[in-house]
Structure 1
Amino acid sequence: MTILFVILALLGGVTGGFFTGHTRGRREQRAHDDLLEREARAEAERVLTQAEAEARQLRSQAEQTRLDAARRLQDAEDRERQAAASVDTGREELQTLRAQVEAERSRALAEAARERETLGLDRQETRRERDELKREIERLNRRAEQLDARGERLDALEERLEAQLRALAGQEAELGERARQIDLKLYEVAGLSPEAAREQILGQLDAELEEEKAIRVKAMESRASAEAKRTARSLIAQAIQRSASETSAQLSVSVVPIPNDAMKGRLIGREGRNIRAFEALTGVDLIIDDTPEAVILSSFNPVRREVARHVLEALVADGRIHPTRIEEMVTRAQDEMKTFMHAQGEEAAIEAGVVGLKPGLVQLLGRMYFRTSYGQNVLKHSVQVAHLTGIMADELGLDAGLARRAGLMHDVGKSIDREIEGTHVEIGINLAKRFGEPAEVIDAIAHHHDPENGETLYSVLVAAADAISAARPGARREELEAYVRRLEQLEQIAVAFPGVQQAYAIQAGREVRVIVQPEQVTDAGATLLAREIAGRVEQDMEYPGQVQVTVIRESRATGLAR
């Protein structure tokens, strides 16, 4: 029993130890399994996240691939449509060529048939002409025989006439000698040489005719002054000439300020590449000298100079100066300049009251904003001429709208006269015809400098308004040397005439007043002297507008009362 109890106790201990060890192992195994499960779950989540990211990337790539495929498909469809259009065009051209070839073939066949018919007719005509020619030859031979007989008679008559002419020549020489002897007798009796006698006779004749010429000139001027309306218009024009309006003088250079002198080096660029690119793209000379904080743009073309100024100011403000940037700025400035000129043309047309101008003409009008003539802005001058022409046309009962249109367009050729060959009148006529302007406008453009050759009254009105606008005080600017030289030439021309005591050029050279010696020049002679001086001024001088010559003759009688 004891042994049995010992064995049972040992078995119980072993079993308890086994169960205790087994339970502990199960707990450790469960913990290990949980750890592995958590690691597996974390790994699975990481793999799942990575898979989702790769899936999103694959979906994006697939979408991009789909878009590329759609774009390629669209390009292929466009090329297919273009190819189809090209095929259709080629078919149409082929059909046209076939039709032309067939027409040419038919025409050639018809011409060949006509030539065959004509050839048959020509043969018959040739036979008839041959027969007629034979008859004509026979007739001419008979006529030649008759002429030979008549020629013999004429030769005999010619000999008789020559004999008579020789006799007459001898008589004429004898009469000439007698006349010379008579003239010598007369010169001896008068005591004068032939030259002195001729001068004396011509002098007496001039003295007798001078008074009559003066009377005739005064009578003609009186008849001209009797035309009341014409005189009234002249007075209105003189009144308009005294009004001063705003003028604009554009020079051939533009000064552009820069922030500092270091900018000059950047404008020049490495080895001068920037300045060369700027001048090549704008067509304007960029002058960089010692002028502090400024550079100079020089060009005879004001449009190019204005574009270059905008480009240079934009480059200085931007700071990035290289050939590519300069090209971008030039393109942008040219587009902006076109818009600006179109706006100026529209504004001028509205101000002048002219409607219905085509966009091309409006653009050309805008270009005249940068064009000057003797310092006078051509666009403002054209607007002023339009106003004056409209007013005068309204007074005369003509179409004021058409007159304003002609006045506004009379100098349109000056917008491009520096770019193509020809005078501004010829260019303006071609432009007006191209844009379908009325015949009155074309006539005004063609004859606004010679209205006497114009076909309508509008050319006369435009010429008068042009002279008014250009001749008014302050309208045109000229250099001081040329101005003084013109005044001196006016006075010298007037003083060169006999009997002139003094001459004064006044009103900026628009008038010259001539004071004559009353004992040498009569009242009638003063009228002729004014006309002669005016003719000499027209012949020897170049001047804008017109010059009035006023001759002043004064006689004074003084008495002294004591």
Structure 2
Amino acid sequence: MPSSLILAEVSTPVAIIMLIGGVVVGGILMVLASRFLGMQSLTQARREAESILANARSEGETLRKQLELDARAEQASLREKFDKETEQTRAEIKEIERRLTKREDNLDRKLDALTDREKQIARTEDELRGRESKVQKRDAELDQLIEEHQAMLVKTRDEQKQELLRIANLSEDDARKQAIRAVELEAQEEAGQLIQRLTERAEDEARQKSLEITLNAIQRYASEHTAEATVSAIPIPSDDLKGRVIGREGRNIRAFEKATGVDVIVDDTPGVIVVSCFDPIRRAVASESLQKLIDDGRIHPTRIEEIVEQMGKEIQERVVKYGQDACIEAHVRGLNPRISEMMGRLYYRMSYGQNILRHSMEVAYLSQVIADQLGLDGELARRCGFLHDLGKAMDHEVEGGHPAIGMEFAKKHGETDEAVLNAIGGHHNDIPATTPYTPIIMAADAISGARPGARRETLEKYVRRLEQLEGIATDHDGVQQAYAIQAGREVRVIVDPDNIDDAKCSYIARDIAKRVSEEMTFPGEIKVTVLREMRTVEFAR
């Protein structure tokens, strides 16, 4: 056998054994390596687990601290909110306490006033009881005198009859008539003296009572002095704006005058532009529109129409609000909305610097005070006083005096009470007074207009205006006397009936009215009344 084959046969098992040994050793090594690696992985896993646990604990601690901080912040926010709400509640409670205290003070004042009123009523009742007892005593004395007189007549009847028959040689019937006539004359004389004494006493008491009521009404009402008049001068920052207001070839000013219905006067007066119009509402719309255009700076016809329309709506809303607020403040209920709106228009109407709306509210209050003192309906008197100048809101739109215009407007819009209508139409003596409330409104109107500070016109100007009015009236042939009455609202002219006939009276009245309109400046209108009285006297001899 060849040696190579022997070596091959011998080396094959050895190689197998070596291979197997190598495999076993490799497996053992792999097992050992895997165990070693597993131990290292376990150790690493344990370390990672401990690290994760430590991180979790750290994050948990951090989260716990953060939650604690958030909880504390939330608690502080809630406490602050609670403190604010508590402070607000305390403020509301203090305000309620203040209102309650104020109401309690008002109730105390009203209680004191009622107590004084009760004392006054008690004193009046005592006086009435005293007067009643005096009258009863006087009646008893008169009854006693009549009884004594009758007894004397009965006692001496026969003696008087015989004496009269003897002296006068009269029959029994004639003597009886003369005796009765003598008693009647004596009783009439005594009654006349008693009536005269009672009349004089009543006049003195009425004069004193009327003075007391008037002074009490003036004292209880305290209003502001002269209100600011509605001005027509619009201030401008520079005179350069005058050219922009006028516009190219005057197109802006023509568009403004056409849209507002006013006259815009741009002259050499520095710093102002004058707006002129007889309608106070249109003047107010124009003044505020022009002021807004000047402030805005964009002045052209389209913008002018837009601003005027906008301001017209705003002024109308203000008028409605002013009327409603005035009705609430004056405690006048149930007015037609049109009447309330017209009362709001009086906010823009002035008379000698006195705001007519405030004047109407003042007259309403004074009328109520006077009516309450006289035992009349104070609420009705307040309504009459509030509406008495209603016609002034439209007297520039309708012909006639404001009393007649106001009465007609009120009647047309739901006012049916005769007292209210007569007070509106007759507070300047244009129609006769049919209720006691009309003289009350006249007195309150005079008090409101004549109190110090109510109107801007000075005494000297007032006297000069009346003298000028009377001078125009007396500057006619045939005029004997002229008197300006009702604070210059009417002039009464007395003519010579021998030289002036009825036709000439009409001519004189028209001429006086024309001259007054041309030569004088006055609010509203002035009534001219020419009086001609023909008397024929004869003597019978």
TM-score (norm 2): 0.48
Q: Which has the higher contact order (CA 8 A, sep 6+)?
A: 1
